Amino acid sequence: MSLSARHRVLFVDDDPSVLAGARRVMHDLRQQWEFLSAASGQEALSLLEQAPCDLIITDMQMPGMDGVELLSQVLSRFPSTVRFALSGYADRAILLKSVGLSHQFLAKPCPAESLKRAISHTLQFKKYLPGTHEQAMVSATETLPVLPDTFRAFQKALRVSRADVEGVATVVASDVCLAAKVLHLASWASLDFRESARNIRQAVGVLGTELLHSVLFSAHAFRAMDADTASLFPVSNWNQHATAVAALSVQIAREGGASAEGVQEAGTAGLLHDIGRRILMGGYPATYAGICAASCADETSITQTESEVLGVTHAELGAALMVLWGVPSHVADAVAFHHEPERCPGEDSIVLRAVCEAERLVAEEGDAGEGCTRAEVCVPAGGVS
């Protein structure tokens, strides 16, 4: 990689020894990363003003501007910068404040290998996206709106039957966005991307329902979509489609002789494969309703219309967000290439094959999840336009 293509990684900590230590361990990756450091939030912001950075890692407790303040400034002023928190506090309050602000939350002491792995994994999100505008669009996405009914069911499950991990996991798996966020938070707990939770059940177990409860009621990691947006899209059909593809993917992966992890990843990839549509729906409801309607009217594939109008597809956006949210690379690849498996670089992945096959089978059965949802989409979209 040439020097100009080096990723700029900015490290912020009020303790100079921590900065020096980080600079030393990052030194062997100097060909790939340019290491910058700042001793305070102010200094970090002025560095960012001079030149954008790809990723910022900040301590949370600092005199003057603290980590929460810094991250929220970075989110609003430099949205394409990936945000990591590195905290020495065992305090849950700080973790809850970082939910929705940081892509990764690492606990000090964090081994150099884990930190490097987290950085290189997360920076991969760019490979799915054509430019900085799309990068900003993805990395500024804090939460994805959940279907109101599912949101209520989730609240109820955490309030009433917190001991029932299985029950909570079932509710979580019934909405794609809920599932994605839970996987995201679970990746914070695992700290090691080889070990991140591969399915929802695991993720709920890793987090614990008690933590989920505090995240739900004190941080704003989860939110329900507003009724207007919900009426524009057949979200519950999408969710049903995702669940059906997930179930079939698991079956296909198992029959294809995948390892236990492969089977779990296939299920997760199946569930998340259309998460990009939810990003577009949450960020640009009117435009995206138009795109869906146009795709139905012209009988072109949805990805083609997306590419023409937006320059990026829901598959690519979804994969990029999932990488930022700490979902394993195999799963993200399957999300990115579920329409065009032949474009996937690298070795043949059973996760991707399972998802493609499952989607084909579900489509043959007459589920209209991926393609035309004419009945639901065109009517309200027409009403809007």
Site string for other proteins, 228-267 (x = CB under 8 A): ----------------------------------------
Nearer to other proteins, 89 or 217 (CB): 89
User: How many angstroms separate the Cα of 362 from the Cα of each of 234, 236, 258, 315?
Assistant: 17, 16, 21, 18
Which segment (109-117, 223-231, 238-246, 255-263) binds other proteins by CB under 8 A?
109-117
Residue 10 is a binding residue for other proteins (CB under 8 A)? no
Which segment (10-18, 296-304, 361-369, 373-381) binds other proteins by CB under 8 A?
10-18
Strands 223-224 vs 104-107: parallel, antiparallel or unpaired: unpaired
- Which residues, 6+ apart, have CB-to-CB distance to 110 below 8 Å? 86, 191
Nearer to other proteins, 27 or 152 (CB): 27
Which residue matches tokens 């000090």? 108
Nearer to other proteins, 15 or 49 (CB): 15
Q: Which of residues 11-70 bind other proteins (CB under 8 A)?
A: 15, 17-18, 20-22, 24-25, 27-28, 30, 61, 63-66
Say how many C-beta atoms besides its own lie within 10 A of residue 325's C-beta. 26
Q: Are 99 and 220 in contact (CB under 8 A)?
A: yes
CB of 384 to other proteins, least distance (A): 46
Nearer to other proteins, 69 or 164 (CB): 69
Which residue matches tokens 């939030």? 41
User: How many angstroms separate the Cα of 211 from the Cα of each of 93, 208, 215?
Assistant: 11, 6, 6
Nearer to other proteins, 111 or 311 (CB): 111
Residue 91 is a binding residue for other proteins (CB under 8 A)? yes
Longest Cα–Cα distance in the chain? 62
Residue 96 is a binding residue for other proteins (CB under 8 A)? no
Q: Radius of gyration of the chain from Cα atoms? A: 21
Residue 345 is a binding residue for other proteins (CB under 8 A)? no
DSSP notation for 83-128: EEEEE----HHHHHHHTTT-SEEEESS--HHHHHHHHHHHHGGGGG
Nearer to other proteins, 57 or 177 (CB): 57
Note the residues at the interface with other proteins (CB under 8 A).
Answer: 15, 17-18, 20-22, 24-25, 27-28, 30, 61, 63-66, 86, 88-91, 107-113
